[in-house]
Structure 1
Amino acid sequence: MNGGPGGYPPARSALGLRFALALFGLLFATAMCAYFAVRDQPALAVLLGLVALTAVVDLFVIVRRVRREHRW
């Protein structure tokens, strides 16, 4: 039996929730980046562009982990 400390089952990460939050972050940051770019506020547009890029990287990491673990 593969139990954790005290015989509890090993912890599993919430990759589905993490995927949903990263996807929401990507969509929100992209929309706000476009909004601030149109409003001629480049500093905020660049900042939100970096947030969107971070969300894309996080999504790639999540998908890779899901494929490696063969579960969703």
Structure 2
Amino acid sequence: MEQVFHWCNKCDQEIKFNRNKDFEIRNEALEFKGEIIFVEVKKPICPKCKEEIFDEKLANETMKKAVKLWEKQTGRKFK
């Protein structure tokens, strides 16, 4: 169980966030290097108010997925 603390703007307080369960999975269209990439992303959610919060680790996972999908879709290597 990976718990970290994040600030929730709506709750206006620091909250305990569990990266393994406090998220929603959404399909999003991201523009990446001029191409539209559809990525399944984990959106971190405040366990108290259910508003979206920012988590750098989950954001980085999303970008890694986007790079791999972009490479597959375009047949080019990201540099």
| Higher relative contact order (Cα pairs below 8 Å, separated by 6+ residues) | 1
TM-score tier (shorter) = 0.3 to 0.5
Whose radius of gyration is greater, 1 or 2? 1
* TM-score of the aligned structures, taking structure 2 as reference length: 0.33
Q: Answer 1 or 2: which has greater strand percent.
A: 2
Give the TM-score of the pair, scaled to structure 1: 0.35
